[in-house]
């Protein structure tokens, strides 16, 4: 059964269904740039820190960028750590479709408790040289954490990334 609320939709297994209930959330935003310029920035690992300001480094680990199976290590201050250390997340590209301007990454390992989380991003031509960004995510419940707090924090974090894309495009155009 799927339950939908104002903020979150989630799956509750019914009799005969398996799997742990996931926490779900999504954010959207409009970028005042054409789809092709947005896609150029957001589809390249080497440009991740340009539109995700909390990311300091992104390192290729395995495979070819843009091809499902590609693995990268993202580090920075995405999630505060009690010891003051940087957060790190090992992500695997699960799907990428340049034609529909979408991709999906699965977090395989991390020091932030988000192992198994899935992020799906879709970029849509919104007309008038603007792009609609839809970012949805699902995570396994985190022990000792409140679902609404985690979903709200991730939503805030991901929305801030969407809001940074326009600035990254402008900055990139000045470098050329």
Query: 27-46, pLDDT tens digit by residue?
Result: 999 999 999 999 999 999 99
Express each pLDDT in 150-168 by its tens digit. 999 999 999 999 999 999 9
- Residue 86 has a CB neighbour count (10 Å cut-off) of 15
Are 87 and 111 in contact, with CB atoms under 8 Å apart?
yes
- Residue 133 has a CB neighbour count (10 Å cut-off) of 23
Express each pLDDT in 120-131 by its tens digit. 999 999 999 999
Per-residue pLDDT at 78 exceeds 80? no
Q: How does DSSP classify residue 46?
A: G
Residue with the two structure tokens 């990139």: 172
Higher local confidence (pLDDT), 79 or 32:
32
Are 19 and 10 in contact, with CB atoms under 8 Å apart?
no
All domains in the chain, ordered by first residue: 23-174 (3.30.530.20)
Give every CB contact of residue 147 below 8 A, 6+ residues apart in sequence. Answer: 8, 23, 141
Q: How does DSSP classify residue 6?
A: S
Per-residue pLDDT at 10 exceeds 70? no
In the chain, pLDDT over 70 holds for what percent of residues? 87
Secondary structure class of 78 (helix, strand, coil): coil
Q: Tokens at residue 118, please? A: 């899935």
């Amino acid at each position: 059964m799927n339950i939908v609320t104002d903020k979150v939709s989630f799956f509750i297994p019914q009799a005969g269904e398996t799997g742990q209930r996931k926490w779900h959330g999504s954010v959207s935003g409009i970028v005042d740039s054409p789809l092709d310029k947005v896609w150029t920035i957001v589809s390249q690992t080497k440009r991740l820190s340009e539109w995700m300001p909390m990311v300091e480094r992104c390192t290729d680990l395995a495979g070819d960028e843009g091809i499902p199976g590609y693995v990268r290590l993202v580090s920075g201050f995405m999630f505060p750590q009690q010891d003051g250390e940087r957060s790190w997340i090992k992500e695997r590209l699960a799907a990428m479709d340049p034609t529909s301007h979408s991709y999906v990454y699965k977090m395989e390992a991390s020091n932030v408790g988000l192992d198994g989380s899935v992020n799906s991003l879709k970029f849509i031509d919104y007309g008038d040289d603007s792009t609609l960004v839809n970012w949805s995510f699902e995570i396994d419940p985190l022990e000792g954490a409140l679902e609404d707090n985690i979903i709200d924090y991730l939503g805030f974090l991901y929305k801030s990334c969407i809001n940074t894309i326009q600035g990254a495009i402008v900055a990139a155009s000045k470098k050329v």
